Amino acid sequence: MKFDYIIIGAGSAGCVLSNRLSENPNNNVAVIEAGGPSDIWKVKMPLALLYTMHDPKYNWKYYSEPEPYLNNRRLFCPRGKMIGGCSTHNGMVFVRGNKNDYERWKNFGLKSWSYEKILPYFKKIENWSGGENQYRGSFGLLPVNQSKNDNPLFKAFLGAASEAGHKINPDMNGEYQEGFGMFDVTIHNGERASVSKYYLNPVKKIKNLSIFSNSFVEKIIFDGKKAIGIEVKINNKIKKFYAEKEIILSGGSINSPQLLMLSGIGDASHLKEKGINVVHDIKGVGKNLQDHLETYIQQECKTPDSLYTYTKLIPKVLAGIQWFLSKSGPCSHSYLEAGGFVKSSPEREMPNIQFHFFPSFVIDHGLVNPNSHGYQLHASPNHPKSRGSVTLSSSNPYDYPKILFNYLKHEDDLKQTRECIHVARKILSQASLKPYSGKEVGPGIEAQSDEQLNEYIRSKAETAYHPCGTLKMGVDKMAVVDENLRIHGLQNIRVIDASVMPEIPSANLNAPTLMIAEKGSDIINSSN
């Protein structure tokens, strides 16, 4: 089968690309997805995100290698395995990042990725409930709404943040990022606003777009240095698809480098070790892996206002019925809807900490129910200096790759995480939270010294689910793609997903990934 464009992966970026490239009726576009459809209630219900995050039918459910600086723990790394990708199971927080994040990208030799250049694409994405202004868009495809969650713990938390000396910011995606407030969320009319629903579904029946689900790409085919097609398993049969113009890799920060290496693109010594013929030696494939590492500061709650109520059978059933009947009630929220960005010290150029407030305890990524009412503050340094990698475990495309984040390898990451705890404790001790606050559960009030906090962090810190950077954009010797998202030294192939980020932004990654896809679509449409 022949197409003009083949998009590998129907995640957040792939859905955007499918929509934008198929706008031209002369483009014959195919999108290939290893998972199945996402039009199911477990995706649509905001509070049901744990169902798909832990279900191997809908999620790759990766785990890292033993992390040497986290007491050799293997950390959970969920990645969406269905149409819509991670937008079908994420926390629905829509945060762009700080404008200085993108100025740093520009300074890596990527002049077309400055804040000024990428702002129009952020605006292009969104249909924002606050209306159009200099910084926000209201004509985009994706509903982005200011959270209206009225749980009293959110009001108390924001009051406490103000009492601790922090700004209240009504729009952290606007003119400035610093401060606390209710996050923008991709929740609309009580349902998850996934990228598949708002980008892919409106075009899925047009004649020039072909969608292949439950289809696993095993290899990219090259003629010399030119990408010409793919080998894909569909219904247990290997088929070959060919691209007349371009192959676009949008598998995400884990799957995209894995597929390139399986196809002979990567560090030659590593490929030879795995018995793979080298097509193109490019050292940076799979390197530069980054993520936000979160530490939870947990407090008992003296009132029945936390989500612990809904771990009980009858309240859970009643909340579910309410949602199915009216798309309202507790199940219509994600509850990761309040937080902020702060500087741990005044001399810092930009906020170096992100907080998420959650009105419950989280145990083992939600697999274990809490045994009491409580709330917690998720705290993570915005710009970790530690770097990890994705490598092959074998030449078999069905064997999971080896993922090593190297969290806290750089001493500064540990220092900043301790600073996160100090700032969090000050907020949680303020008067607005006094009617609710019981004892500190984690780290526990007895943990005060650097050594005690270090041990808590190493034993309890968890991923924020923001892996990126493994096929980074840039001009240095470890860069994999150029500023037009083409792989250095190859023809007819681009990468458009979170793997191209040279440095992790101060943000949850869905919004920046969509921006990259919108800009990437424009680059492709203007070059062909």
Q: Is the pLDDT of residue 283 over 80?
A: yes
Q: How distant is the alpha carbon of residue 82 from its chain centre?
A: 15
> Which pLDDT value is given to residue 527?
85
Q: What is the pLDDT of residues 358-408, one digit of tens each?
A: 999 999 999 999 999 999 999 999 999 999 999 999 999 999 999 999 999
Q: Up-side HSE of residue 448: CA atoms within 13 Å toward CB?
A: 2
Q: Residue 181, CB half-sphere, CA atoms under 13 Å: how many? A: 20
Mean pLDDT throughout 157-164? 98
Active site residues: 466
pLDDT for the residue numbered 415: 97
The whole-number pLDDT of residue 261 equals 98
The stretch 94-121 carries a mean pLDDT of: 97
Mean pLDDT of all residues in 253-257: 98
Per the CB < 8 A criterion, the answer to whether 161 and 168 are in contact is yes
pLDDT, average across residues 474-498: 98
Domains 2-40+196-289+468-527 and 148-182+293-381+409-460 fall in the same CATH topology: no
Q: Cα–Cα–Cα angle for 56, 333, 170, nearest 5°?
A: 125
The string of pLDDT tens digits covering residues 329-368 is: 999 999 999 999 999 988 898 999 999 999 999 999 999 9
Q: Which residue has the tokens 């819509």?
A: 84
Position 528 pLDDT exceeds 80: no
Non-local CB neighbours of 479 within 8 Å, separated by 6+ positions: 284, 472, 473, 488, 502
CATH 3.40.50.1950 fits 148-182+293-381+409-460, yes or no: no
Q: What is the DSSP string of 269-327?
A: HHHHHTT---SEE-TTTT-SBB-PEEEEEEEEESSTTSGGGGGSHHHHHHHHHHHHHHS
Mean model confidence pLDDT for the chain: 97
Structural contact between residues 9 and 250, judged by C-beta atoms closer than 8 angstroms: yes
Residue corresponding to tokens 């109520």: 309
- Given a cut of 90, whether residue 435 has pLDDT beyond it is yes
> What are residue 342's phi and psi, to 5 degrees?
-140, 160
Collapsing DSSP states into helix, strand and coil, what is residue 188?
strand
Q: Assess whether pLDDT exceeds 80 at residue 151.
A: yes
Query: 465-485 pLDDT, tens per residue?
Result: 999 999 999 999 999 999 999
- Average pLDDT on 322-327 reads 97
Report pLDDT for 420: 96
Question: Domain ranges in the chain?
Answer: 2-40+196-289+468-527, 148-182+293-381+409-460
CATH number assigned to the domain covering 2-40+196-289+468-527: 3.50.50.60
